[in-house]
Structure 1
Amino acid sequence: MKKILIALFLSFFLLSFSQESINFEDTTFKEVLAKAKREKKLVFMDAYAAWCGPCKLMEKNVFPLPAVREYYNANFINARFDMEKGEGREIAMKYGVRSYPSYLFLNGDGEVVMTNYGYMGEQDFIAIAKEANNPLLTKGNPKELFQKGESDPAFLLNLMRQNAQTDYEFAKKVSERYFKGKVKQELTRDDIGMLLYFVKSPSDLNYQIFKDRKADIVQEMSDDIYQQFDVNIKISKVMESSLNQKTGVINDEYFYKNAIPLVGKTEAEIALNRMKVIFYPNVGNFKEYEKAALMYYKNAENFDSEELLKAAWLFSEHINNQPSLKKAEEWAEKSVMKSETAENTYILAKIYTKTGKKANAKIYAEMAKTIATQQGKDATSATQLLESLK
């Protein structure tokens, strides 16, 4: 009798313990959808990976909270799948899951109602669940509802997020309606992020919001960054029209003619060279890249050492002009002086090789090999360079 009582107590204890979290279904995805359809509920899916730290923290710190488990258990059919194992791989591919944890809210047909991701606290985690349960998200086709004039803020915000990557132009239209309704309301940090994402040109309707709400926006970024962003918006279309993807050339004359009236000569020159150092390597035009980089990085002290190192690497790979390589030496040396790594010491050694400083090249190639070996990195390139210097 005593053993029976102990067994019953343990069973009760384990049952109680198992309920101290969100109740995740232990079945197939197909069965989860079928149950959601029968019970006329949405599916909440925790899309995780076994190695993911934030996923483990959500499981440990957030899922067991009383308010969280009560809301999710009452309103959703809950499921968890490891996106890197078994059925989870197919789910990840189907829904484009690339970051963990991701949260998918689906209807019984497996259609996405809303997604979100990342570690979040109790209030935010419940808030996204309530947002997903907004009847507007589950009633009819969201795009059709938008076309009919739906202006509910939560609906518009979710519709923006859902389409930002897959249908930018549509999402942009949604954002314009959303921000039109926020004219007299406070902009949250997320609002500002969305606004900046959907402003590409002064002709965009959101650009006026960007200008009118400057006081709110500079709470999240410095005034200098705001001004730089404004410059980029103004000349973005000019940049696009200046590029010739087929010939791999930027039309300087067209750019200056159209950019200077917008931002002035100094800003136009900086923007043009910045565009060139990004564009020309991508199209393999290293002759033009060399000229642009020498102009753009003329005052090297104004640039981050990592950015200069990238330029030095491109010079070490593609440039043979000695005066230009001397500048690349300075860029690589700045990075090495800040912190010696396997990458920057190798690049510096390679540049020294091209400028005829064989002794220096050997020193830094040895250093690159040693650091790479100590850190368990591939030391093949440094080893090969050392062999060539014998």
Structure 2
Amino acid sequence: MKKIFSLLILCISILIFSQEGINFQQTSFKEILAKAKAEKKIVFIDAYASWCGPCKLMEKNVFPLKSVSDYYNTNFINARFDMEKGEGPQLAMKYGIRSYPSFLFLNGDGEVVLKNMGYMGEDDFLTIAKEANNPKYATSSNKELFEKGEKDPEFLLNMMRLYADNDYDLAKKVSERYFEVKKNDPLTKDDLGMLLYFLKSPNDPNYKVFVSKKAEIITLMSEDIYKQFDANIKISKILETSLDQKTGVINDAYFYKNAIPLIGKDDAETALNRMKVLFYPTVSNYTGYEKAALEYYKNSDSFDTEELIKAAWIFSEHVSNRISLKKAEEWAEKAVMKSETAENTYILAKLYAETGNKDNAKMYAEIAKNLAVTQGKDATLATKLLETLK
């Protein structure tokens, strides 16, 4: 009898323990959205990776807290997805998840209501939940709310951030309403960043804000930088006009004729090469890209290594000229020196292989493979490269 009683207590303890923490649904993403829509609730998704230390700390230290679990279990449909398994990779691509942990709050249509990332404590984790838990988000999509004339500045600011990458035109319209609503309020540094991000032409409604608030803006940046931005905004229209959307050809002569009087020859050349570097890969004009990138990244110390490694990758895939590939090697070397990741070292190894430096190619392919295995990433590319180098 004593043994039965002890076993019963153990079972009850296990049951109680198992009920602690956030109640994550064990079902498909589609079913989770359907449940959220039916219950008129927001979905909370913990987007994690099995190797991620901060993810494990959230699971250990924050998710089990009573204040956290009570709030999340009461107000949300909760789910967890490993971003490298099952439905995870598809969700990571859909929602632009590049770091872990990432926290998504979605409505029943799968639209992002709020997105955040990184380890956070109890108070911050509850704060983002309360911000996302607005009844109107559960019953209407962001776009519906915007179309109905929603003018809440926090809503508009959040919507700008959410759509900036995947629907720029919509985010730009949201920004125009945001700055109209805030026209009598002082600009913050974040506001100025948003204003400049969505300002592409003197014909944009936000350009009036940029001009009318000049005195205020030059307290946040120097007048010289303000003038530079103004010149870039003006030539952006010239860049747009220089591009034939049907053929993908950029009219250099037209651009220089109109841009040099505004910003000078050197800055005009830099602006044109920057446009080509951004545009040519989208239309598979890799010959034009190669020429522009070699000129644009000539002084590679002036550029972020993430930008350089992207250029190095494009060269490794689409460029055959050995002199050009040697230049891409330099870009990849800078990136690896700053951050030795599986991706960076693989690109460097691939470039070494293509320029005939077999010893370095083997060494860095091996490093890339080991890093991928250690970090729980796919080592297929590095493994295949090693096989070709035997």
TM-score, length-scaled by structure 2:
0.68
The question of whether the paired residues in 1 share the 8 Å contact of 2:308 and 2:332 is answered with no
What does residue 94 of structure 2 align with? 96
If asked which structure has higher relative contact order (CA below 8 Å, sep 6+), I would say: 2
> How far apart, in 1, do the equivalents of 2:354 and 2:36 lie?
61
Letter in 1 for 2:22: I
Q: 1:31 to 1:171 in 2, by over 3 A?
A: closer
Q: Does 1:187 align with 2:154?
A: no
Deviations 1:173-231 (A, max 9, x none): 22222233345256375x5654444232233233455574646865xxx9998876665
Paired residues for 1:181-330 under 5 Å:
181-183=181-183, 184-185=185-186, 187=188, 189=190, 191=191, 194-209=194-209, 212=213, 214=217, 232-244=232-244, 247=247, 249-277=249-277, 279=279, 283-284=284-285, 286=287, 289-290=290-291, 292=292, 296=296, 307=308, 310=312, 317-319=319-321, 325=323
Letter in 2 for 1:187: T
Determine what percentage of the aligned residue pairs are the same residue. Answer: 52
The offset of 1:368, in angstroms, is 3.0
Deviations 1:328-364 (A, max 9, x none): 767757976997978658757866xxxxxxxxx6xx4
The question of whether the paired residues in 2 share the 8 Å contact of 1:159 and 1:174 is answered with yes
Paired residues for 1:123-162 under 5 Å:
123-140=123-140, 142-162=142-162
Letter in 2 for 1:286: T
The question of whether the paired residues in 1 share the 8 Å contact of 2:164 and 2:171 is answered with yes
Q: 1:18 to 1:216 in 2, by over 3 A?
A: farther
The question of whether the paired residues in 2 share the 8 Å contact of 1:346 and 1:365 is answered with no
> How far apart, in 2, do the equivalents of 1:39 and 1:334 lie?
52
The question of whether the paired residues in 2 share the 8 Å contact of 1:113 and 1:138 is answered with no
Q: Does 1:372 align with 2:370?
A: no
What does residue 14 of structure 1 align with? 14
Deviations 1:73-121 (A, max 9, x none): 23223333446656x469839x9345254544455x5554624242242
Q: 1:261 to 1:45 in 2, by over 3 A?
A: same
The offset of 1:132, in angstroms, is 2.1
Letter in 2 for 1:96: K
Which runs of 5 or more residues in structure 2 are unaligned?
338-344, 370-381
> How far apart, in 2, do the equivalents of 1:171 and 1:329 lie?
40
The offset of 1:255, in angstroms, is 0.6
What does residue 72 of structure 2 align with? 72
Q: Secondary structure at the match of 1:178?
A: helix
Q: CA RMSD in A?
A: 4.8
Paired residues for 1:154-173 under 5 Å:
154-173=154-173
> How far apart, in 1, do the equivalents of 2:362 and 2:30 lie?
53
Letter in 2 for 1:266: D
What does residue 355 of structure 1 align with? none
Letter in 1 for 2:45: M
What does residue 117 of structure 2 align with? 118
Q: 1:9 to 1:230 in 2, by over 3 A?
A: farther
Equivalent pairs, count: 359
TM-score, length-scaled by structure 1:
0.68
Letter in 1 for 2:243: L
Letter in 2 for 1:372: A
> How far apart, in 1, do the equivalents of 2:21 and 2:143 lie?
35
Letter in 2 for 1:67: S
The question of whether the paired residues in 1 share the 8 Å contact of 2:36 and 2:77 is answered with yes
Letter in 2 for 1:234: K
> How far apart, in 2, do the equivalents of 1:69 and 1:83 lie?
22
Letter in 1 for 2:94: G
Q: Secondary structure at the match of 2:146?
A: helix
After TM superposition, the structure 1 stretch with the greater mean CA deviation from structure 2, 307-316 or 12-21, is: 307-316
> How far apart, in 2, do the equivalents of 1:367 and 1:250 lie?
38
Q: Secondary structure at the match of 2:259?
A: helix
After TM superposition, the structure 1 stretch with the greater mean CA deviation from structure 2, 223-232 or 132-141, is: 223-232
Q: 1:168 to 1:13 in 2, by over 3 A?
A: same
> How far apart, in 1, do the equivalents of 2:10 and 2:226 lie?
61
Q: Which has the larger radius of gyration?
A: 1
